[in-house]
Structure 1
Amino acid sequence: MCFGAEFPDYYFSIPINERARRVEIAESLCVIDEEHFFVRGRIELPVLNSEEIFCWNVWTTLSKDNFIQTNTVWNDPERVNEPAYFGWLQTSLPGYPETLNLKTAVHTQAVGLIPRVEIMDENHPLVLEQKQGIGWPRVVELVEAALHS
């Protein structure tokens, strides 16, 4: 059960008539103005008393060096051994206080899977839900928020 953003939030600051020239975007990678680098990843929230995972597909920034490294190992099975990359969350998630620019750790997964994103800002409720899980009533709240955002 996944919901999320098609583009990093910063994408929407680019005027529509300039996007084709200034934005390079693939399914899970994005570069804006050759100086802002983004990767799509997944925030996983375990659903209590079940095997289910609620997930948010999100975008996070990467440094230029980490973005280049991500591209270098994108199709390499050994990429799972990469250290986590630091980033800033670039997706506003409904059902939470503002999530834009939360600190993240981006954990590369097996080829074919987008990275797992760990929220590092310990004062945000999303961190607790990521670590402790959520019940079914909260799942319903998040689904409703996602469908109406």
Structure 2
Amino acid sequence: MPDTTGYTCTSCGEHHDELPFAYSTPAPAFRRDDPADVLEPERCVIGGEHYFLRGRLVLPVLDAEEHWNIPQRTAEPPYFGWLATELPGYEPGTLNLKTNLHTRPPGERPLIELEPTGHPSPSSNGTASR
């Protein structure tokens, strides 16, 4: 029986043992080999009769609330992430720049720090602006 724990990340290509907190797919799973009439980032049409739209499904994580509300979370090391926002006015674009997310006390939004690169981003020296 195959191991079904964890997932393989489509961004880094590595296997992670925990459940993903975000997931996306370019087309419906049952599509298989049927060609799509329309296959766009937000919608898919198959055979002129099956219509699919990208949506958001929120699932509870059993210990996420506990972690989110404890003051000790600020002592954790930063979490690696990818910037999922296209900031206007930057060429090349800012989508998928490497980041580090620093947790802050409960009630405060996390601080997102861009990793140093040659990109002319809002913070070229790798520290996030507030």
TM score, norm. by length of structure 1: 0.43
More strand by share: 1
More helix by share: 1
TM score, norm. by length of structure 2: 0.49
The structure, 1 or 2, with the larger RCO (C-alpha pairs under 8 Å, 6+ apart) is: 1
